[in-house]
Every structure is written in structure tokens, then in C-alpha cells.
Amino acid sequence: MSQRLFNVAKVPVQLDAVTFGIEKRRGEDKKIVNLVLRIQPFDAKLASALDAGVGEDSNIKATVFSLNSGEPKPAFIRHDFVLSLARQNLELYASSDTTESRICITQAKISGTYVRTQKDMPSALAFVFRASFGPVGRDELEYLNLWFRAAQNVTFRESEKSLDFQELGEDVSGEDEDAGAEEQPGLPAHEFDTDAEGHAIEKAEPINRRLHSPARGKKKGVAKPKARRRRGH
């Protein structure tokens, strides 16, 4: 079953900031774009629309809202959440009535999620998160410029699995990396001497031993030439 950030379509999302960064993929550095996105107002109804499994451990709705009234808890100011969420495709629509999306951002990693209050809008909470994706082309950059400091209607869908976006420790291929590998020869067995009581004593190889010992003094079988006497004039 696919997993979405929100299981409802066309959620109004505002783009607050755009930065550029690098993401490591399969040993290579890829240029990416980091978006800071905000959903405001964020109410109990939208909290209920978070897809099954998203934020289950932290229980966003119960943490932020009163279960009886559905209003924000009186002492609530801000809370950070770690979401269990696959990469997402963000389908962007110009309005809630538009039938076709204008652009689709694929393989976006959702992170840095938190809910906060705002001083001038105490009853209107904000759901803030980061979406990282890329590399991007000219069309995406032009649309991000249009979206900046404005709201677009976004439908979230789970991205297809891809080895290029494999997370650390996750086996996307499902294949055993060691399958078919040739057996490597083992290390030679240690040799041991025994002491007087029969206990094994491992032979330690000398450290920094010379591979070729230089000749010292006279060589065997080679006569040393005699020094010649100088004749006086």
C-alpha cells in the first residue's frame, strides 16, 4: 500500500525558503534543492488527514490538539516530529478547481517537520517541513520562483522505489550482495610453541625485520687488499 504525507488532495502549501545543497547518492554528489514549506492554518482536521503510519510514533494530533474540542492545547508552542515516510511526488495545482497539475516534483525527501504557533495568529498553527529533491532543470527553477512566498495546491503521492534514492541500511534490490561471490582463501593458521606446563605460546614475528641484510665486515672467501706503502723521495 502506498504512503502519502496527506491522504487528501490539493493541500494549500506555501513556499517560505529555497536553498541549494548536495546529496550523496550511490557514492556520487548530486546537486539538490531544499524547500521550506508551510501549511497554515493547520487544524485537527488536517492532522487527521495525515496518512496512516505517518507520525504514528509521535501521534501529531494527540500531541498538538485537545481530543475533546479539537482546539490547540493551551500550553502548546512548538513540537518537532520525526515522520516515517517514503519519498514523495508533489503534484502542484494552480487552484483547488484545476484538474491538471502544472508541474510534478518527484522523489522529494520530507524531513525537518514541526508544528508551531505564531504570535499574531495564536489560534492558527503552522505545519512546517522540508522537501529536498533534484537535480532540477530550468522549468522547475522557474516554477519555484513563481511559488516563492505564495501558496500552491499540492497533492502528495509516494514515489516509485529507486536504487538512486536508496537510504543507508535499506536494501531496495532485495538481492544478497554476497550471493555468487567467490570464496576467499583463509589466513594461514598460527603456529604455537609450548611452555614447560604445556601452555601454547604464539610465535611472534619480529617487527621491522630487514628483507636484505647488508654485509658487515669481511665477506667469506674474499681477501682484503693490502695497503700500499708510500716510497720516500
Q: Where are the domains of the chain?
A: 11-160
Give the three cell numbers for residue 55.
507520525
Is the bond preceding 135 in cis, omega lying within 30 degrees of 0? yes
pLDDT values of the chain reduced to their tens digit, one per residue, 233 residues: 689 999 999 999 999 999 999 998 888 899 999 999 999 999 999 999 998 778 665 689 999 999 889 999 988 999 999 988 999 999 999 999 999 999 999 999 999 999 999 888 767 899 999 999 999 999 999 999 999 999 999 999 999 987 766 654 443 333 343 333 333 344 444 444 555 555 555 544 444 444 444 455 455 555 555 555 555 55
The length of the chain is 233
CB 147 within 8 A of CB 128: no
Give the three-class secondary structure for 160: coil
Residue 195: its pLDDT value, please? 55
Residue 67: its pLDDT value, please? 86
Global pTM exceeds 0.85: no
Residue 55: its pLDDT value, please? 62
Q: Which residues of 89-103 are buried (b: 16+ CB within 10 A; e: fewer)?
A: bbbbbeeeeeeebeb
